[in-house]
Amino acid sequence: MRRIASGFIFFSLILMGMLTISLFLGGIAYAGEPLPPPYPPDYACRGCHGENRRTLTLPSGESLPLLAARELLDESVHNSSADQPIYCMNCHVNPTNYRYPHYPTPAQTLRDHTRLASEECTSCHYPHNPLHESETDDPALPVCADCHDSHNVQPIAEVADVMPAACISCHDDQPLEWALELIAPRPGLGEGASGYVGSARCSSCHDQEYYAWRDTLHANMIQDLATDPDAVVGDFDSDDPERPFALSDVAYTIGGHWKQQYIHQSENGELTILPAQWIVESATWTTDLTSTAEISVTAVITGPGGLTDWRRSCSGCHVTGLDTERWEFTEFGVGCESCHGPGESHVEDPENVDLPAVDEQVCGACHSRGVSPDGHAFPSTYQPGDALLDHFTPSVDPGDFWPDGSAKRNHQQYTDWSQGSRMALATDTSCVTCHASHGEGVGAIQLVEPLNDLCLECHSGKTAIIQHTPYHDRASLEQDFTCADCHLPAMGISAVQYDIHNHSMLQPNPQASIDYGGADVMPNSCNQCHTRTGEDPQWAVETIDYVAAIVTPIPENAFAPGPTPTSPPPPTAIPSVGEPAPDVRNVEVGRWIRLGMYVLLGLILLAIVYLIYRGVRSGSKKSKGATDA
């Protein structure tokens, strides 16, 4: 028995020594591919949980897996080898800097655990939950780990590829294609200009604005036939001499509401506008691209075959994030950053970096004709927040204007607006006062509200329309009048004659038609409707004079450039909240103290075992001596 006891004690001594060594090496041991020192602070975590197949039973009876697969951690943007390393204890924290043994989790269920784990994400990331926001704390709503995973967090560029599977794990009544379309990034061409991130990034926080904007004319300015063949509105089934190309020649479409033009892509990637356009109102083709051109003819840059080079002549107002050195861009269409400016700094630190305020110059950058200093038909160097006239010289081509200075052709709404009306000079009105920029709005021109309702919000004194428009009581029974019929008459040309409204707000009057030689030479509001024999500009002037005592005087037609708002300062970039993760190496001292304590504990245990061993040996000798005696 004594030999058995001695052997047991000796075996215990060896076991305790091994335990001491394992406790000491536990802080640096790694059950996987060895890494060269210095070892990352989460080396032991990865070693223990990298192949851990055990589970923890929660109070709910559910099993919580303890596996954190190392291959997933290595693929994640949150890993210890990244340029900005993220260690296990950056996310898994407790009052003792995450030591072993772990504190019991307060989670009662798996759902509790997922929600608790996701709370730590907002210490680095701005909180967002697009399409799932709620004023109440609804536990059923997804949290960070539901969409981005816990240990296999993918870079932003790959989110659209991996997240759809997470979407349909909850929305199991929807196909995968539904999720792919919902979160798909908007395509561009090449790399795009520096600082632009694409409109899809904005959806993380501004989901209502983003998903409403996706259906607007701006968002769908350019359509790729490879992904959206239904975007074609022109008739390609019938032969037409006015259309000298086939549908197979078309790579992209431009517009489609008033007219539609078509872009051809050559084998070497050149993008040129094909020599015919489809007029929606008349459902006809025309090869006349000059009379309804979107830009001044003098600013057209030709490409292969003498066709208009779309990128160098037009793309600045058709795409977002254009780089005019490489002629690549971030996304097709007029995106968020076309109006709000490059968003990279704001995305990195949304609480401290604001984007420039949107004013009418932002709209004017494209709704104007002219030329930039580098010879393009769009302000190639302008960004929201700048003074537009520092980057663009408005057109002075007589063919672009009526004699009184108002716009004759399309894409000159800002030129009209700048003529000095009381509305333009007011500090609380701008383009977006009337037009919905983040949604489809009302009607073809996407108004915030139905036109008359919109006007009456400010001009409530004109509610009695019959009193405001005397001698129109009978006509009002035969047709619906709008404020725009008189105050914003259709005088511009986009696809057909007079399909674009005047935006000077100066109510072009019949006296100007007389002064400049007739309504054909200088249109006016009255003779847009009054076209019967005898209803000429002179008749209209006499009628206005007759009722002048009971109507609001017509403002003087003072067409002159209005003041350009002062350019606000550009936003100052502030270090991102996502920049270097907390340096957890500053807890290394505490870590080695713990390891030292483990060693000390082992030595104490060894001493105790040794004392027990000596005590047993001593007792054995005394017992043997007594027996011998």
- State the 10-residue block means of pLDDT for the chain, 629 residues long: 56 56 45 58 84 90 91 86 84 67 85 87 84 79 88 84 88 91 89 94 92 92 94 95 95 94 94 94 88 59 82 94 95 96 94 92 94 92 94 91 90 90 88 90 89 86 66 76 88 86 86 92 91 92 78 41 34 33 38 62 76 70 55
Angle between helices 588-628 and 2-25 (to 10 degrees): 170
CA separation for the pair 607, 337 (Å, rounded): 71
Q: What is the pLDDT of residue 62?
A: 93
In DSSP terms, which residues pair with 277 in a beta bridge?
286
CA separation for the pair 208, 181 (Å, rounded): 16
Query: Is 515 in contact with 522 (CB distance < 8 Å)?
Result: yes
* Exposed / middle / buried, residue 503 (Cβ in 10 Å: 0-12, 13-18, 19+): buried
DSSP string, 425-486: HSTT--HHHHB-SSS--BTTTTBSS-HHHHHHTT-GGG-SHHHHSTT-HHHHHHS---HHHH
CA separation for the pair 333, 329 (Å, rounded): 10
User: What distances in angstroms separate CA 409 from CA 32, 282, 293, 369, 500, one per listed residue?
Assistant: 71, 19, 8, 9, 8
Q: What is the pLDDT of residue 536?
A: 94
In a domain, residue 1? The reply is no
In a domain, residue 234? The reply is no
DSSP string, 353-397: -PPPPP-HHHHHTTSS-EE-TTS-SS-TT--TTS-GGGT-EE---
List the domain range (segments joined by +) for residue 439: 396-577
CA separation for the pair 512, 520 (Å, rounded): 11
Query: Is 89 in contact with 97 (CB distance < 8 Å)?
Result: yes
How close are the terminal C-alpha atoms of the chain, in Å? Answer: 21
In a domain, residue 241? The reply is no
Total-model pTM: 0.74
In a domain, residue 468? The reply is yes
Residue 502's φ and ψ, nearest 5 degrees, are: -65, 135
CA separation for the pair 499, 492 (Å, rounded): 6
* Amino acid letter, 367: H
DSSP class of residue 171?
-
Give the tokens for residue 445.
């021109």
Q: Which helix (H) or strand (E) holds 513?
A: helix 510-516
Q: Which helix (H) or strand (E) holds 129?
A: none
CA 399 to chain centre: 38
* Amino acid letter, 188: G
SS (H, E, C) 309-332: EHHHHCHHHCEECCECCCCEECEE
258: CB partners within 8 A, 6+ apart: 279, 280, 281, 494, 495, 499
Asked, as a colleague might, if the bond just before 571 is cis with ω within 30 of 0, I would say: no
CA separation for the pair 291, 503 (Å, rounded): 20
In a domain, residue 139? The reply is no
In a domain, residue 476? The reply is yes
Give the chain's domain count.
1
Q: What is the pLDDT of residue 18?
A: 57
Q: What is the pLDDT of residue 522?
A: 93
In a domain, residue 604? The reply is no
Q: What is the pLDDT of residue 236?
A: 96
In a domain, residue 376? The reply is no
